[in-house]
Amino acid sequence: MKARIYFLLFVSLISAALYLTWLNDQYWRDVIPQEFGLGATLHSNSDLQGIRESCGVHVFQLDDVTLNKVLSGGLGFVNTAQQARGYGDYYYRYGEWQPTPRQDWKRAENWSYELMCASMPAELQGIILDAGKQSGSYYSHGQEKVLMVLPKHKMIVFIHNG
């Protein structure tokens, strides 16, 4: 009888942990505009995981339909993406999209500030930095956030600090 109770408790804890992980992933997906179809979560790390104000980086794979729209429509297409899919208020709006290279990343302290709180693999950080410094990608600012579309890598990157 005790073994059964321990087993049920163990299964319940694992189920709760999986649900909280899914819920956290959904929260970060909901801040991405609906125009961007998302595939797998490639990286997700925040210092407080969405419980309250935090900073972090979340990277999602773009689906093939979205990738084709970005490649064919360029700046015109990405400029249709202004509002987070899961929230209608102004805080979750994005400004006008800009092509890279990012003008705000001329000095190392500018890009390092955005990425400083996110523990991420060096290879992924290198991809984001290179994409921000070279042409071929797009970015948009919102309140306490930046969204980057990296078509060459089939990624969308959400960076937040607040």
- What DSSP string runs through 116-133? TT----HHHHHHHHHHHH
Q: For a pLDDT cut of 70, what percent of the chain falls above it?
A: 78
Query: How confident is the model over 33-90, as pLDDT tens digits?
Result: 999 999 999 998 876 654 556 778 899 999 999 999 999 999 999 999 999 998 989 8
- Please write the tens of the pLDDT for every residue from 100-152: 988 777 665 566 666 767 778 889 888 988 888 889 999 999 988 899 999 99
Other C-beta atoms closer than 10 Å to the C-beta of 74 total: 15
Residue with tokens 């930046």: 146
Domain span including residue 151: 2-161
CB 99 within 8 A of CB 77: no
SS3 32: coil
Cα separation, 77 vs 141, in Å, equals 16
Q: Answer yes or no: pTM beyond 0.85.
A: no
Q: How many domains does the chain have?
A: 1
